[in-house]
Amino acid sequence: MEMAARESLKDIQEVLAEVEGEECKTSDEKVRLFLQKIGNPYLYKVGTVTVRVSFAGRMSIDDCFANFLSAL
């Protein structure tokens, strides 16, 4: 991944802090806000590390993502 592209990625720690600071009435609102702020939920940064998320196995991508968000 090129440096310019890496720099444009959102840091998930910053995004989660922003989402936690927002007044969300429902978990659906929280998910929408997270997705809006993170941009691509399958490609982001954690500090200086680039994370690319992929799924394999029996669970659907929707189920995996829901489990991921419920753990936050």
- Whether the CB-CB separation of 51 and 43 falls below 8 Å is answered with yes
Q: What's the pTM value of the predicted model, to 2 decimals?
A: 0.68
Structure token digits, residue 1? 């991944």
Q: Which pLDDT belongs to residue 58?
A: 82
pLDDT averaged over consecutive 10-residue blocks of the chain (72 residues)? 78 92 86 92 92 80 81 76
Q: Which pLDDT belongs to residue 15?
A: 94
| Domain boundaries along the sequence of the chain | 3-70
In the block, tokens 């680039």 appear at: 50
Structure token digits, residue 61? 């991508």
